[in-house]
Amino acid sequence: MYYDELSMTEFSKRVKQKDLVAILPIGAVEAHGPHLPLSTDSLQPEHVAREVAKKLNALILPPFRYGMCSSTKNYPGTISISPESLRMVVRDIISELVRNGVKNIVVLAGHAGLHHISALKLAAQDIVDAKKVKIMVLSDYDIAYDLRGKVVPEDDGHAGTIETSRVMAIRPDLHKARGKKSENRIPHFRVFKNPDKYWANATNGDPTKASALLGRKVNDYIVKALVVHIKLMLRAPE
């Protein structure tokens, strides 16, 4: 299940598996309010990766737990790397997977910031433009937010009801506190040196409404949907 638990000899055999998928979980070290750990955006895609890997007999690559954080970049604990660094590392990793004969790759991010996702997609674009390989890049929140306006309000976001619930389901021991309903008030379209001035708590939504039960439902929803998307990729002509 874990790519790097194989030996070189085992890997040689395993890579020949029909429809082998490799999943690269991309996390972040990012402030998520006082109620969630800095690893929030790592825990979620790594959980999804494990569940998906079980269903598809996929390989999981060593997670890369660093990302590019914009609005939370000044909060305590956040470690934000540049989009260039992120793009280069992910490009290198994908490129080596292709060299090794892997044909289907899923880059699965927990963090869904604009520059973060842009960097990941550019890394993938660099490779698909040059090599024959199928790649999918997404944040699990691209799927989770299907549920906004349904199980949670439309404006649920960072460290809000869904995210808190998912952490409660995955690592209840890291759910630190009840949290507090808060709102991101960063003025539209502005680019700031200190966006945190406009954002109390690094929370956008209502973590007090969260539950492990809801978290499990959301996680299951994501896993099922992602499995469908990956199967579509495997069947696609290119």
Could you tell me the smallest distance in angstroms from the CB atom of residue 10 to a copy of itself? Answer: 7
Contact between 42 and 25 (Cβ < 8 Å): yes
> Long-range contacts for 172-175 (Cβ within 8 Å, ≥24 apart)?
172/212, 174/36, 174/37, 174/39, 174/43, 175/35, 175/36
Could you tell me the smallest distance in angstroms from the CB atom of residue 217 to a copy of itself? Answer: 21
Looking at beta carbons only, is 18 or 235 nearer to a copy of itself? 235
Could you tell me the smallest distance in angstroms from the CB atom of residue 180 to a copy of itself? Answer: 11
Could you tell me the smallest distance in angstroms from the CB atom of residue 4 to a copy of itself? Answer: 4
Looking at beta carbons only, is 91 or 209 nearer to a copy of itself? 91
* CA pair distance 220, 78, nearest whole angstrom: 28
Looking at beta carbons only, is 71 or 219 nearer to a copy of itself? 71
Residues 6+ away with beta carbon under 8 Å from 186: 71, 192, 195, 198, 199
The alpha carbon dihedral of 200, 205, 210, 216 has a sign of negative
